[in-house]
């Protein structure tokens, strides 16, 4: 029985490693063929991005959100990602990215109200 558990555990570990390697190779191939690279990442000091949320709420209270976001864009670039309460959030001010986003949204918006398009909820 012990050998069986060791064998199953080893197979599971090898499978997970294989998944990680195959994903990395597919990602590298996609990035090379499309000329893209992943956006910069805001590194959180607290789990689930709690530090970012509290910082953002403080800026909302002081009405300095625009200056806060401008500083983020200057530090991390025109497009960056962060962990916000456990979800990955992509923030951009790159005109091409915004244009593509709005083109995609036009296909998803039935009546101009709150919608869910794929995994991303968009609220107007």
Q: Is the pLDDT of residue 123 over 70?
A: no
pLDDT of residue 82: 83
The tens digit of pLDDT for each residue in 35-79 reads 777 777 777 777 888 888 888 899 999 999 889 989 988 888 888
**Any long-range contacts for 64-71 (C-beta under 8 Å, 24+ apart)?**
none
- Alpha-carbon torsion 92, 96, 97, 101, what sign? positive
Burial of 49 (0-12, 13-18, 19+ CB in 10 A): buried
Task: Report pLDDT for 119.
Answer: 47
Give the model's pLDDT for residue 58.
93
C-alpha 16: how far from its chain's center? 22
Distances (CA, A) of 108 to 4, 90, 95, 102, 104: 50, 19, 20, 10, 7
* Residue that wins the pLDDT comparison between 79 and 14: 14
Question: Which tokens go with 77?
Answer: 């670039």
Entry pTM: 0.53
């Amino acid at each position: 029985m012990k050998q069986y558990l060791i064998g199953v555990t080893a197979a599971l570990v090898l499978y997970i490693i294989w998944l990680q390697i195959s994903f990395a190779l597919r990602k590298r191939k996609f990035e090379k063929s499309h000329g893209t690279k992943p956006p910069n990442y805001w590194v959180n000091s607290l789990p689930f991005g709690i530090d970012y949320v509290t910082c953002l709420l403080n800026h909302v209270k002081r009405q300095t959100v625009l200056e806060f976001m401008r500083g983020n864009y200057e530090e991390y670039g025109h497009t960056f990602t962060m962990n916000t309460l456990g979800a990955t959030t992509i923030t951009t001010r790159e005109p091409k990215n915004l244009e593509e986003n709005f083109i995609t949204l036009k296909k998803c918006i039935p009546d101009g109200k709150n919608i869910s398009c794929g995994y991303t909820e968009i609220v107007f």
